[in-house]
Structure 1
């Protein structure tokens, strides 16, 4: 008899990944835990001089010492769907009347198509996940205030390193999780703003019903 048994209890993906909701850019997890997520621009460390690299390392070390709490660093690599780009390129080729430009576009189109047959076109994004845990059920505005204090510290630390930060909105957080748990589907069928808004609204309504 196999020790692997199919569960008779159906659970949603949201329960499996333990998300209670997303509200005003704050990810809500079980156990009164909350997360804010910021996207951080990249820094080409290898192109810097040795003196600049040493200065960056010292600044980064100083930043870590100033945070005073744990942080999670996430590097997310996603494959880019080139179909739409190639379709736009073909459309430009159809409407181009100048022979010299048509030849250039055709050569470029052939180059891109040959490139993606043997290589995946990837994009890389960098995130810092900032945690907060409350002692019990507290006002949501207090949670946001505490997270904003940490967000400000992290943003200023990244700025000293020459990097820019942007806090993810509720819809962007949902899209990030969608790309994690349905990577193939996310590539061929990205979530629309309307679909993200419906998911977000359902989560907010669920959280408000628990609060009442």
Structure 2
């Protein structure tokens, strides 16, 4: 995930459409501030930024540290220390809290109720659906997820760019055909390097007793859509989750 993924962005919502994620054109025809987002494409379980660098995202489980014995706590601390010491590249840890979304779960229960031949069981299922819906509405239940973002750059040039180049990238954030061709040419090599880093991080985190899972293309698009559109994403679901690419129109 790019360094700017958690900053507030006042922009038109991303419109979920089949085959790609695009921005809605404003009424006056002006460019949306979405053009300032660093993401160029999302495909092959990888986030590709406009500067040509790539990102992989892992979802990581948590452990209830306070319920562990002292010996178990020391073991976890030591394993995590080993994980940090083994890193030869930067990582980003992203913790996200959001309201629990059980729409898919409720939809499945509704299908079960519709197909239930037993009137008593059908009525009980409908009552349970109503109970869960009211509980979520009034209890405001939150869920917390943890992500580790791994970057990769062939030249690790993010700190080697001159100030003038960084200034130009800031004032001219638009994508271009030249940038796109360069990303395509480098992607295969970048993907291999990123995968090696992801494997290292996974192995070390799992030694801490944590479970890890690399996000797929669909999951990456859904994650970024909800991060950049926190309000819209609650009412306008990204139904076309088979999107395989994000790009500027």
Q: What is the rounded CA distance, in whole Å, between the counterparts of 1:171 and 1:110 in structure 2? A: 30
Q: Is the 8 A contact 1:73 1:127 kept in 2?
A: yes
Moved more, 33-42 or 142-151: 33-42
Give the structure 2 partner of residue 5 of structure 1: none
**Which structure 1 segments of 5+ residues have no match?**
1-7, 207-212
TM-score by length of 2: 0.64
Q: Matched residues in 2 for 1:85 and 1:141: separation?
A: 38
Alignment partner of 2:200 out of 153, 157, 175:
153
Which of residues 34, 38, 54 is equivalent to 1:34? 54
Q: CA deviation at 1:27?
A: 1.2
SS where residue 38 of structure 1 aligns?
strand
1:15 and 1:52 map into 2 onto residues whose CA distance is 48
* Superposed counterparts of 1:62-211, under 5 Å: 62-82=82-102, 85=105, 92=113, 96-98=118-120, 108=128, 111-135=131-155, 139-193=186-240, 196-197=243-244, 200=245, 203=247
Per the TM alignment, residue 189 of structure 1 is displaced from its structure 2 partner at its CA by: 2.5
Unaligned 5+ runs, structure 2: 1-27, 158-181
Q: Which residue of the partner structure matches residue 49 of structure 1?
A: 69
Q: Which moved more, 1:118-127 or 1:103-112?
A: 103-112
**Alpha-carbon distance in structure 1 between the residues aligned to 2:109 and 2:219:** 28
Structure 2 counterpart of 1:16: 36
Number of residue pairs matched by the alignment: 192
1:109 Cα deviation from its structure 2 partner: 5.2
Q: In structure 2, how many angstroms separate the alpha carbons of the residues matched to 1:13 and 1:171?
A: 24
State the 1:57 CA deviation: 0.7
Instruction: Tell me by how many angstroms 1:168 deviates.
Output: 1.5
Q: Could you say what secondary structure the match of 1:180 adopts?
A: helix
Query: The residue matched to 2:119 in structure 1 has which SS?
Result: coil
Give the direction of change, closer, same or farther, for the CA distance of 1:163–1:83 in structure 2 (3 Å limit).
closer
Farther-moved stretch of structure 1 (57-66 vs 42-51): 42-51
RMSD: 3.0
CA distance in 1 between counterparts of 2:221 and 2:241 reads: 12
Deviation at 1:24, TM superposition (A): 1.4
Distance, in Å, in 2 between the alignment partners of 1:22 and 1:113 is 34
Q: Does the C-alpha gap of structure 1 residues 159 and 111 become closer, same or farther in structure 2, counting only changes over 3 Å?
A: same
